Chains A and B, each alone.
Chain A
Amino acid sequence: MKLYKLTLAALLLLAFPLSASAQTTLRIFTGGQQRPDVMRKIADEYQKKNPNVKVEVEVGGATSEAQQQYLSTVLSSKDSVLDVILIDVIRPAQWAAQGWAEPLDSYLGADKAKIMAQYLKAYADADQVNGKLIALPYFADSQFLYYRKDLLEKYKRPVPKTWDEMMDTAKAIMDGEKNSNLQGFSTAGAPIEGTVCTYLVPLWGAGGELTREGKLNLDAPQAREPFQLYGRMKQSGVLPKNIAEIPTDRIRIDMQAGNLVFGMTWSYVWNRLENDADSKVKGKIGVTTLPHDPGGKSATCIGGWQLAVSAFSKNKAETVKFARWLSSPEVSKMQAILASHMPVFPSVYKDPEVLKANPWFSEALLVVEGAKSRPVTAQYPQVSDVIRSNMNAYLAGTKTTDVALGDMKSRLTPLFR
């Protein structure tokens, strides 16, 4: 018996280094804003199912631009350190042009069409560039109007449908509450990616388009609408005075502290408002579609994060297997419950456990299905820079509508030729 145990121990000792050397380590990159804690839990789950794989989670900057700057450095030098990379929905065109992502078509083989048909169409489209599959959808996102249910009830106001209704309601509540910290409405205004949507949402809500058939369409009268809308909001005091300094997560922080009546922001905010220990607004928040112009239709920016396999990964087969699991209904459901990340599969929205954690998901599916894309081009970073810096200058009051719109036109025209 003793001999048997000793033999077993010796065998184990022999076997252990062997199994260790057969282990593959995969490194996944995610942004600080995309709930790396939840990614870790999901990765642990994968490790349990695949004992031969060890997953390391690398956490990058909080903003999409900060992440991309780091990734540009790593990938331009063809570094193999990252295997799976979480990228913003605006990136696939640039990634395809730069050759940073391993095209996944051959891995999916004949099943590609069938597999892609299971996703929300917007993401299946966004991740295929010129017929090549650049990334797999991880979670969906779009902007919503977050509002204070309790304050709307207190002042007997309906949930606003148009921008002007929202402004009136916000103003009435600010006047009634007499709380100098309470602000009516907030959205991203700093010179960051989110501010591109701050311009596009009211433009779309007025029936306008940035481009039409690939050509710039800013001569249309609707192109002035966003400037005029925010101008009115600033004048009435509904917008914070320092709107030009507000980054995306600041809206969540202000809302969570009970200092905001309305906020235009993304789906991750819900989970934080309902679950964070310091949230002062638990159970007081409603989520609805964004306002629009009378006669227009509610619109929203499509967001969300995609799983790209690095073209320089040394373990492509294992990496693709991991990425495909991350892009599954099972993981979509986990994310929805743990982080209120919106699923990329329409079927998961109807899951009772998902709906229990996020009651507003029943309406959200319609919103995501109707969400619009920011311009798709390999030169998106330049396009984004023009829109956000001019919107930011207008919100800061350093450019008038005419100057901001004129500068946007003259700098965007060469990019859409």
Chain B
Amino acid sequence: MTETSIVKHKDLSERTLGILLLLPAALLLLVIVVYPIATLFWNSLHSADPNNPQAEELFVGLDNYTRAFVDDRFWNSTLKTVLYVVVTVPGALLVGLGLALLANQPFRVKWPVRLGLLLPWALPLVFAGLIFRWFFEYKTGVVNDWLAALGMEPPQWLSDPTLAFWAICIAITWKASSFMALMLLAGLQTIPRSLYEAAEVDGATSWQQFVEITLPMLRPAIFVALIFRTITAVQTFDIPYAMTGGGPGDATETLAMYINKMTLDFLDFGYGSALAALMFLISMVATSGYLRYTRRSAARSGE
């Protein structure tokens, strides 16, 4: 009797202590995450009169959301965003995997490789955008300089919708690969050497080792990296903003750029908030797809 009560008492105090320790973090999250998100949803149900923006905002229900469904520019920018995701997520995974495998080699001096991996990641996105804008510049850019040296007609990379799309994809892939590589390198280093040694004894080729050992062991790291990359790819803003400003016309405009224009340029906070909520939904759908897949494959491997 006394024993249990002591245990209970200990339990309680531990729980209280736990709650007390969590409290600061929870409060902080409440103020800087929950409150803004709640405000965003609240804003998305309201609309200001554009001719009298200082007046009280009116409750408009789901009007802002129905407006998005008939807004061509919303659909176009969403489609462009999805295309950037579809191209740059696998692109960055492939390049990042290659870089991680390279960095995992037993170099005598490790820091230049590590630095090379870190540098694109540490660079602010908008810098990367500006650098690539100058690479692809029509007259003074290095890309057209190379093409001219090869005797090819230099194209106008940034004012052709298709070429501008690919130029932006190249820049995003370059920028994102280094983050991918860092995540994958961490995963690679957890794979025990003994597995490879055993495979070598069994006479497996290095390709077989890669497919049978490296890839399966790396899967958790790949999934985490993919989820992070997909969420940031849905939010693509800085690089196209710096490279084309969404041009030509609205051809390379992403959803995040449209939201930025709607809120900061047009000051239409209601509709802008609704668009942001829709973008959140897209992110959720994309990541829940990954999560379901990992859960299923985890269940399968548990059988």
Contact = CB atoms under 8 A, between A and B. Distances in A.
B196 interface: no
A398 B249 contact: yes
Interface size class of B (residues with CB under 8 A): 20 to 34
Interface string B154-165: 001011110000
A390 interface: yes
A171 B267 CA distance: 44
Interface string A203-246: 00000000000000000000000000000000000001111110
A94 B264 CA distance: 13
Interface in B263-278: 264-267
A22 to B, nearest CB: 35
B138 A378 contact: no
Contact of B245 (A94, A190, A381): A190
A381 B267 CA distance: 9
A392 B160 CA distance: 11
Contacts of B51: 97, 378-379
Given A97-B51, A97-B53, A242 B248 contact: no
Interface string A360-379: 00000000000000000011
Interface in B97-148: 137-139
B96 interface: no
Interface string B41-56: 0000000001111100
Nearest to A247: B245
Contacts of B158: 242, 245
Contacts of A242: 137-139, 156, 158-159
Contacts of B161: 396, 398
Interface string A181-208: 1000000001110000000000000000
A149 interface: no
Interface in B245-294: 245-251, 260-261, 264-267
B247 A191 contact: yes
A381 B247 CA distance: 17
B249 A392 contact: yes
B159 A396 contact: yes
Interface string A49-89: 00000000000000001001100110010000000000000
Given A72-B267, A190-B245, A398 B138 contact: no
A203 B16 CA distance: 73
A378 B50 contact: yes
Given A190-B245, A244-B247, A245-B156, A382 B138 contact: no
A385 interface: yes
Contacts of B248: 191, 244, 392-393, 395-398
Interface in A330-358: none
Contact of A192 (B245, B260, B266): B245
A306 interface: no
A20 to B, nearest CB: 36
A35 interface: no
A399 interface: yes
Given A191-B246, A378-B51, A396-B249, A244 B159 contact: yes
Interface string A378-404: 110110010001101101111100000
Contacts of A68: 265
A98 interface: yes
Contacts of A398: 160-161, 248-249, 251
Contacts of A395: 159, 248
A399 B159 CA distance: 12
Nearest to A76: B267
30 contacts: A69-B264, A69-B265, A72-B265, A97-B53, A181-B139, A191-B244, A240-B139, A241-B138, A242-B137, A242-B158, A244-B156, A245-B137, A245-B158, A245-B159, A245-B247, A378-B53, A379-B266, A381-B265, A385-B261, A385-B265, A392-B249, A393-B249, A396-B159, A396-B160, A396-B161, A396-B249, A397-B159, A398-B161, A398-B248, A398-B251
The 5 closest A-B pairs by CB, nearest first: A393-B249, A396-B248, A242-B138, A244-B159, A396-B159
Given A240-B139, A379-B266, A398-B251, 14 more contacts: A69-B260, A73-B264, A94-B267, A190-B245, A192-B245, A244-B159, A245-B159, A378-B50, A381-B267, A389-B246, A389-B249, A393-B249, A396-B161, A399-B249
